[in-house]
């Protein structure tokens, strides 16, 4: 019997994901939506990811060059469906997301993309995961961009030639910018989409990931000349304020204790204000307090990431990032 549901091509990308990849592929195979083509695109893993993927995926391909954008483009070139769902190999797909997202796309002809809620699979794994889990929270409605997990209309992807393979970070927001320039819309639905395994347990991993975000801000703003330009300026301002207050705290401890106390109080109030403004993200106040601290302290690695991008652009050096995520055993 022929399947009456439209074909959705699921493109999973991964690099040394280990058991996370198996969970991801199984979540697709066990999905409530029935008419699925499952492709796995491997970004030169050193483990046995391709061999494991062949047991579950319809086809396995090797990305022609490094980076998530290139891997997704490789999958897009091989896909048969008119509806394309991208997944990162460290995620699992919610059982009913595809049917709800496809119905929303079919109902509005100018929708290019639908995405839902991504949450951390192990939010209590570390203080870093607890805080970064809140970064995934977005209010429903029309948005400027989506993340790496989303269902797309193939026609829209074709108009912008997919993802920019020159970008190793920020490729999804950059592509969404050009989609909106073409008159397309991006929509966030208030439904579960994926669970993510961030697997950050050490400060070094947190620093690398946050610095990479700064690099993405600078790279995308330089390509679009408008998108994320305000964010880059905002990061400069916040990091300047943060460094000034930290300097006053340190100097005041030696010479002017009252100055140190005033600077410390100012920084504390700024962090509390950030926590209060983020209260829509979670009802859990300890997490919000940590998020307020993160929103300020993260400005240093973000700014360093911005500077690194500007340096690479000036020297025409291609971006290179260490894998912040530990390979599962």
DSSP for 213-271, please give it. HHHHHHHHHHHHSSTTHHHHHHHHHHHHHHHHHHHHHHHHHHT-HHHHHHHHHHHHHHH
249 vs 235: CA distance, rounded Å: 21
Q: Quick check: is 206 in a domain?
A: no
Residue 178's DSSP bridge partners are none
- Count of residues in the chain: 329
Are both 184 and 239 inside the same structural domain? no
Structure tokens at 33: 């939506």
Whether residue 116 is contained in a domain is answered as: yes
Indicate whether 234 and 308 sit together in one domain: yes
Identify any residues that bridge with 195 across adjacent strands, giving them in sequence order. 92, 119
Domain that holds residue 97: 8-199
Asked which of 168, 199, 230 is the last residue of a domain, the reply is: 199
State how many domains the chain has. Answer: 2
In a domain, residue 53? The reply is: yes
Torsion, Cα of 209, 213, 219, 225 (10° steps)? 180
The pLDDT, as a whole number, for residue 322 is: 61
The residue assigned the tokens 């340190």 is: 250
Please indicate, yes or no, if residue 56 is contained in any of the structural domains: yes
Residue 295: inside a domain: yes
Question: Do 268 and 237 sit in the same domain of this protein?
Answer: yes
Residue of 29, 24, 14, 152 whose CA lies nearest to 81: 152
* 123 CB neighbour count, 10 Å cutoff: 17
Residue 121: closest CA among 62, 17, 53, 194: 194
Residue at token pair 């954008």: 69
CA distance linking residue 257 with residue 275, whole number of Å: 27
Provide the pLDDT for residue 329.
47
- Quick one: pLDDT at residue 16? 84
* Domain shared by 262 and 179, yes or no: no
Whole-number Å distance between alpha carbons of 151 and 114: 5
Instruction: Give mean pLDDT in consecutive 10-residue pieces for the chain, a chain of 329 residues.
Output: 81 89 93 92 86 92 88 94 94 95 94 96 93 92 93 96 90 95 96 93 94 93 92 93 92 82 94 95 93 95 94 82 58
182 with 39, same domain?
A: yes
Bridge-based pairing state of the strands 91-93 and 185-196: antiparallel
3-state secondary structure of 194: strand
pLDDT value at residue 10: 97
Q: How far apart are CA 87 and CA 91, in angstroms?
A: 7
Cα atoms in the 13 Å half-sphere on the side-chain side of 289: 4
Task: Match 């995926």 to its residue by tokens.
Answer: 57
């Amino acid at each position: 019997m022929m399947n009456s549901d439209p074909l959705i091509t699921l493109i999973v990308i991964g690099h040394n994901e280990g058991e996370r990849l198996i969970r991801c592929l199984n979540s697709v195979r066990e999905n409530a939506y029935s008419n699925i083509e499952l492709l796995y695109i491997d970004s030169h893993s050193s483990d046995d990811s391709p061999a494991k993927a062949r047991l579950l995926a319809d086809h396995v391909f090797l990305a022609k060059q490094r980076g998530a954008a290139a891997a997704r483009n490789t999958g897009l070139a091989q896909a048969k469906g008119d509806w394309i769902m991208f997944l990162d190999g460290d995620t699992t797909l919610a059982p009913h997301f595809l049917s709800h997202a496809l119905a929303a796309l079919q109902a509005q002809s100018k929708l290019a993309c639908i995405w839902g809620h991504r949450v951390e699979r192990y939010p209590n794994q570390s203080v870093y995961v607890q805080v970064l889990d809140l970064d995934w929270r977005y209010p429903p409605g029309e948005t400027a961009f989506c993340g790496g997990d989303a269902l797309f209309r193939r026609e829209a992807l074709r108009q912008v030639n997919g993802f920019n393979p020159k970008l190793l970070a920020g490729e999804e927001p950059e592509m969404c910018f050009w989609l909106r320039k073409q008159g397309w819309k991006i929509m966030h639905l208030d439904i579960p989409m994926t669970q993510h395994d961030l697997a950050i347990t050490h400060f070094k991993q947190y620093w690398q990931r946050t610095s990479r975000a700064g690099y993405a801000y600078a790279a995308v703003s330089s390509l679009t000349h408008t998108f994320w330009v305000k964010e880059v300026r905002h990061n400069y301002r916040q990091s300047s304020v943060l460094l000034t207050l930290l300097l006053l705290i340190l100097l005041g401890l030696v010479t002017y204790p009252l100055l140190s106390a005033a600077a410390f109080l100012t920084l504390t109030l700024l962090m509390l204000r950030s926590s209060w403004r983020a209260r829509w993200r979670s009802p859990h106040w300890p997490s919000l307090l940590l998020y307020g601290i993160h929103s300020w302290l993260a400005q240093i690695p973000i700014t360093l990431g911005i500077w690194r991008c500007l340096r690479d652009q000036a020297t025409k050096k291609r971006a290179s990032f260490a894998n912040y995520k530990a390979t599962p055993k």
